[in-house]
Structure 1
Amino acid sequence: MPNDSTFTCFVRRDQSFDFNWHFHREYELTLITAGTGVRYVGTTVELYRPGDLVLLGPDLPHTYASERSENLAEAAVTQFQYDFLGPGFFELPQFRSVQSLLERSARGLSFSDVPEELRADVASLPGFASAVQTVRLLDVLHRLATDVAPTPVTGAGYTAAPSTVVRDRVDVVCRYLQQTHTGPVHLDEIAGLAHMSPTSFSRFFRQAIGCTLTDYVNQLRVETACKLLTTTALPVTEVAARSGYRNLANFNRRFRELKSMRPTEYRAAYLQPVPPPEA
């Protein structure tokens, strides 16, 4: 964060967002403005698309990851500390709704059904001088607190502010799983990446992430399936196989556990137009 400011607003733009599991003391408001990928927050793995708007509290482990493509990955990011407007500011009666919003962001908050005007205001924050940014950020937080019903992103089982050693081990493991989860996943192999025995690693992973390795891999696989269901016309059996499930019944069961609907229902609800093949 710049030394001459109590908060920072910037545009993150690249060919892709690389996996980098991390945490920091600042609150973070992120609006995806271009590109698609996977958002990892605490115990939760979810797809993101343009318009995805999330507020993360301090020390909440997270990362965004996308595949390299012709289209840029882009996000408007604002980071600030609780007292960026001065000690006790949000304890003032007129700002208690914002204080409540910030408290709830400890689990991460996802905002859907956000008015386009509000979304545009979030996207425009990096373009203003610091004084104007301050006023506009306060206005954005107030409107998010009063006009939009957020949804918690993660469960209560994640570990906030893990040590640097834990962070680095989890980053190595999760980065590897991000690339390999559609194939067989063997506990002893994954434990070896962290230089731990399988038993010690299982305990470590659950404490650091808040869920078991099996549960985490299932989240990765189901999100891969969601992407295939909504961007291709592949049969469900093929989607299951490409997502890492060799047994269709197991795929259907895991999918319903995480999405509360069958794969065919998900496809019908979220299917994106598939472009026609080139002539």
Structure 2
Amino acid sequence: MKSIKEITPIKTDDPFVILKHKNALFDYPLHFHNEYELNLITNFKGSRTVGDSVEKLEGTDLTLLGPELKHVWKSDNPISNAAVITIQFQEHFLHSKIMSYNVSKDIKKLLELSKRGIVFANPTKQKIIDLLLSIDNNDNFKSFLSFLEILHILSTSDDKKVLSSPPSANYSQKRESRRISLILNYVKHNYQKNIKLSQIANMVNMSESAFSHYFKKRTNLSFTGYLLDYRLGVVTKLLTETNMSINEISYTAGFNSLSNFNRAFKKKHSMSPKEFKLNYLKEVSR
């Protein structure tokens, strides 16, 4: 499904822009832009699509989306009572001087992770609602401090969940150790091959057992679990962005058995690849 590029209203000398809409119609198609975007939606019932994530929603939704991440919200109600508050800020904010200070390390990590899309639950959500309501414009220092406080609260929150898979969001982990970065980069460029644990352990001069313990400690996933998740992420990217057949997608993503592929996909998404694609197209097109 193709997405369009949105030109946002932020100016080059603005730290951010804040937009507020009542009775939002959610009639904008699947899109992306170069800026970060924090979205608070209240009184909403419908669906949210971010990368390859599609979720049904009701109530209040708070998300942080990184640059070039495709997204769309679709309302179930023809007459909307939903309200939207959006803060957009420029991509280069991540590389600004303020982000180079040690006190900003959590915010920098948050912004890197937001390239996959992040959704927040309570109590973080309620804290951010109160702060967002206090910001009327972007032309005074108090508003800028509130903006930084919002980013700090989000960066230290335990109530966040990542939405999209790395391949679908074109995401790469830049703050990992040299060994982990080497491994993740190898997977990124070789996931179609038959990758063995012994081969990866040799790459970083470790035994299989030592490497397995090390990788699990650093990523909270076994290596085989990470490799499977990465391949499934490639699958959802191809399902949502191409017209390739299921067989072609399975082979392209590195699965050597169609039955194993279907079983793994259904275990993760609770539906078949075909059902996933139909559901995705239905949500972004309605």
TM-score band by shorter chain is 0.5 to 0.7
5+ residue gaps, structure 1: 162-199, 224-279
Contact preservation (8 Å) 1:9, 1:125: no
| Contact map agreement 1:16 1:67 (CA 8 A) in 2 | no
Q: CA deviation at 1:120?
A: 2.3
Q: Alignment RMSD, CA only?
A: 3.3
Closer, same or farther: CA 117–150 of 1 in aligned 2, 3 Å: closer
Instruction: Evaluate the alpha carbon distance shift between residue 99 and residue 15 of structure 1 in structure 2; reply closer, same or farther with a 3 A threshold.
Output: closer
What does the per-residue CA deviation read over 1:52-76, in whole Å, with 9 as the maximum and x for residues that have no partner? 1111111101111113444422211
Give the 3 Å change call, closer, same or farther, for CA 105–20 of structure 1 in structure 2.
Answer: same
Structure 2 counterpart of 1:152, from 158, 162, 175: 162
Task: State yes or no: 1:89 paired with 2:98.
Answer: yes
Structure 2 residue aligned with 1:21: 30
Cα-to-partner distance string for 1:22-43 (whole Å, 9 max, x where unaligned): 1111111111122221101100
**Cα distance, 1:113 vs. partner?**
2.1
Percent sequence identity is 28
Change (3 A) 1:52 1:95: same
Q: Distance in 1 between matches of 2:137 and 2:94?
A: 17
Q: Does 1:67 align with 2:67?
A: no
Shift in Å, 1:159: 5.2
Does 2:63 align with 1:2? no
Letter in 2 for 1:27: Y
Change over 3 Å in CA distance of 1:122–1:160 after alignment to 2: farther
Q: 2:152 pairs with 133, 138, 142, which one?
A: 142
User: Structure 1 stretches (4+) deviating beyond 6 angstroms?
Assistant: 203-206
Match of 2:42 among 18, 25, 33: 33
Q: In structure 1, how many angstroms separate the alpha carbons of the residues matched to 2:101 and 2:34?
A: 22
Q: 1:216 aligns to what?
A: 277
The count of aligned residue pairs is 182
Aligned-partner Cα distance in 1 for 2:167–2:94? 31
CA distance in 1 between partners of 2:153 and 2:97 (Å)? 20
Aligned to 1:44: 53
Contact 1:37/1:47 (CA < 8 Å) preserved in 2? yes
1:110 matched to 2:152: no
Structure 1 pair 142–15 and aligned structure 2 pair: CA distance change class (3 A): closer
Unpaired segments ≥5 residues, structure 2? 1-8, 172-241, 254-264, 266-272
Residue 81 of structure 1, CA deviation:
1.6
